[in-house]
Amino acid sequence: MTLRLAKPAGLKHNGSLVSIDVAYIRPLQKVIVQASEKLMLRFQVFRNSEAPAELDLSFAYLVGSDSVPIRGELAYVDGEIRCRKRPAGPAALSLMWEIHNFGAIMLETVRLPERGQPYVLNVELARNRMMRWLQKREDWGLLDIAEAQTVNQKFNEARDLLIEALENLENPPLAAKFADKCLAIAVPASEQTASVHAELLLHRRISTRSFPKNVFGCAAAPERADDPYRRKLVATGEFIYLPMTWKFLEPQEQTFNATPMDNWVEYLRQSKLPMAAGPLVHFTESAIPDWLYIWEHDYETVRGLLYEHIERVVRRYGPHVALWNVLSGLHVNSHFSFTFDQLMDLTRMAITLVKKLMPNARTMIEITQPWGEYYAKNQRSIPPMIYAEMAVQSGIPFDIFGLQLCFGAPRDGGWQRDLFQISSALDRFAPLGKPVVISRMTIPSVTTEKNAGAGTWRKPWNDQLQSKWLEAMVNIILSKPFVEAISWGDIVDSDSASTPGSGLLTTELAAKPAMQTWLAMRRAVMSVRQSGSKTPGAGAVAAGSTGTVG
């Protein structure tokens, strides 16, 4: 018995070949496109129960598994965010979202599959925060302790509101209203949870006197050499971070601008302050010499030039530097088209060379944008945690991870995050087995046109809010037992600063409230370290007194 199949319409046999009639394919293509349009990741957006007329998505991006950003196109059409993503599988949406009585911060939905009906954005943002909050309460051991009773009650309130939102999904505006109320409770209460956890860990760190010797540092401005500025700087930190970019040291090929750096190194040597320096490798516009761009597609030449540069700088300044920032933000790879293997080869070469030249110096790999927003646009880059894990697993002989926490600037890495997100991000470095230094931390003290779109924390930035944020951040950072030190980015306000108004001093070198807080916290840590007192508690690390800069 022979089974005969009917020949589909549109197929033509030509001997052993089968051709397809174009007139038959075009209707199929139309059906496929219509199906893909119906089956996509879509979010209905509500603000005050109505869809906003406009929504800025220039800073939004999609997130896949393991919190890795993915490529995709986003558009706001007819009250919906429509997401066309490249990779298959569920994805989350991360965007700037305003929360009642809290501010505007980057928030993320849960990971969701495509479907015909749109999701309610407000509900998915609330659902993700509640899920993350529950996970961290369990991870931090706060589910049934007396110190967390208040935040646990807040969790129950927010949970009930989320349930109300989920039960009213057939009425999206009403569901969004309940979700907004949930977020208004969950975001500040989850921040409070992070603070409670920090207080518990700080008590433990104080009682064991496990603070390192030099905790508080500040970055110098190599272009400044006036004595009033230098005196303020050395009185602020227990160590000084001296930026040494390739562009500053060699602005023209084979033309070295060593005198300003020589003077700074000698001044800090005489001040008897430990010195961190670098980055030796940093592929950003502010660090790459203009003449190097002619070799941007020639990896071997760039590698050779980098080798010579590192060797020259380390031989010249190595005896005076305690910690070398060898590679900064190499994972971002925003200016050269290097491959993954080439980036890892550069990492190994640079670290190994510094170790060979200065065996006793400590070496650091700096992560510059810990949320990895850049990866959604640049697939030649490496997600930050994957790069960090590869550096450890590859056996590269570095000593410390540096981590930049810079907020208040409308660019990748600078969007405002809340304390809960920051504390959770820090925890991801604990399993890697390397100490962490917060190599650069900044936040503005004023809201200007330059940083207005970066988000807000509680309210628009001012001097007092900057001080309050600094205090809360330092408490959370120092509660992590794997964190060794914190370095503030811009000690003095400057028009050229990457984050306007982020200095601890005004342009006239007058101390802001944040400087008083910084000095008070520094004195508290020093007193605990020196006396070993167990009585101060976590409050001893918080700003409790004022001080002046020499």
SS3 81: strand
Q: Is residue 128 part of a domain?
A: yes
Same domain, 137 and 179: yes
Last residue of a domain, one of 200, 222, 252: 200
Same domain, 316 and 271: yes
Rounded to an integer, what distance in angstroms lies between the CA atom of residue 423 and that of residue 198? 9
Mind listing the pLDDT tens digit for each residue in 6-37?
555 555 555 544 455 555 455 544 544 444 45
DSSP state of 91: B
Q: How many CB atoms lie within 10 A of CB 308?
A: 9
Question: What is the residue range of 185's domain?
Answer: 41-200
Rounded to an integer, what distance in angstroms lies between the CA atom of residue 200 and that of residue 141? 10
pLDDT at 33: 42
Same domain, 430 and 309: yes
User: pLDDT of the chain along its 550 residues, tens only?
Assistant: 444 545 555 555 555 444 555 554 555 445 444 444 557 899 999 999 899 999 999 889 999 998 999 999 999 999 999 999 988 899 999 999 999 999 999 999 999 999 999 999 999 999 999 999 999 999 999 988 888 899 999 999 999 999 999 999 999 999 999 999 999 999 999 999 999 999 999 998 888 887 888 999 999 999 888 999 999 999 999 999 999 999 999 999 888 989 999 999 999 999 999 999 999 999 988 888 989 988 888 899 999 999 999 999 999 999 999 999 999 999 998 778 889 999 999 999 999 999 999 999 999 999 999 999 999 988 889 999 999 999 999 999 999 999 999 998 888 889 999 999 999 999 999 999 999 999 999 999 998 888 888 999 999 999 999 999 999 999 999 999 999 999 999 899 987 777 888 999 999 999 999 999 999 999 999 888 777 544 344 444 554 433 333 3
The answer to whether residues 264 and 257 touch, using CB atoms and an 8 Å cutoff, is no
Q: Is residue 6 part of a domain?
A: no
Same domain, 267 and 124: no
Q: Is residue 87 part of a domain?
A: yes
pLDDT at 12: 53
Exposure string of 59-78, with b = 16+ CB inside 10 Å and e = fewer, is bbbbbbeebebbbbebebee
Same domain, 107 and 217: no
Q: Is residue 536 part of a domain?
A: yes
DSSP letters for 100-150: TTTEEEEEEPPPB--BSSPEEHHHHHHHHHHHHHHHHHHHTT-SS-GGGHH
SS3 of 143-159: the string is: CCCHHHHHHHHHHHHHH
Same domain, 400 and 467: yes
Residue 529 exposed, middle or buried by CB count within 10 Å (0-12, 13-18, 19+): middle
pLDDT at 2: 47
Q: Which helix (H) or strand (E) holds 357?
A: helix 340-357
pLDDT at 35: 44
Q: Is residue 21 part of a domain?
A: no
Cis preceding-peptide flag for 279 (omega within 30 of 0): yes
Same domain, 167 and 312: no
Same domain, 223 and 85: no
Same domain, 376 and 251: yes
Q: How many domains does the structure of the chain reveal?
A: 2
Q: Is residue 206 part of a domain?
A: no
User: What is the distance in angstroms between the CA of the first residue and the CA of the last residue of the chain?
Assistant: 101
Sheet of 69-70: strand order equals: 69-70, 61-63, 92-99, 103-108
Q: What predicted TM-score, i.e. pTM, was given to this entire model?
A: 0.88
Rounded to an integer, what distance in angstroms lies between the CA atom of residue 490 and that of residue 20? 66
Q: Is residue 9 part of a domain?
A: no
Rounded to an integer, what distance in angstroms lies between the CA atom of residue 109 and that of residue 91? 9
pLDDT at 500: 81
Same domain, 187 and 251: no
Same domain, 401 and 457: yes
Last residue of a domain, one of 175, 200, 225: 200
Rounded to an integer, what distance in angstroms lies between the CA atom of residue 412 and that of residue 477? 22
Mind listing the pLDDT tens digit for each residue in 73-106?
999 999 999 999 988 899 999 999 999 999 999 9
Report the length, in residues, of the chain: 550
Backbone angles phi, psi at 434, to 5 degrees: -120, 145
Last residue of a domain, one of 200, 234, 261: 200
Q: Is residue 219 part of a domain?
A: yes
Same domain, 501 and 530: yes
- CATH of residue 448's domain is 3.20.20.80
Residue entry with tokens 């349930």: 163
The answer to whether residues 398 and 437 touch, using CB atoms and an 8 Å cutoff, is no
Q: How many CA atoms lie within 13 A of 253 on its CB side?
A: 9
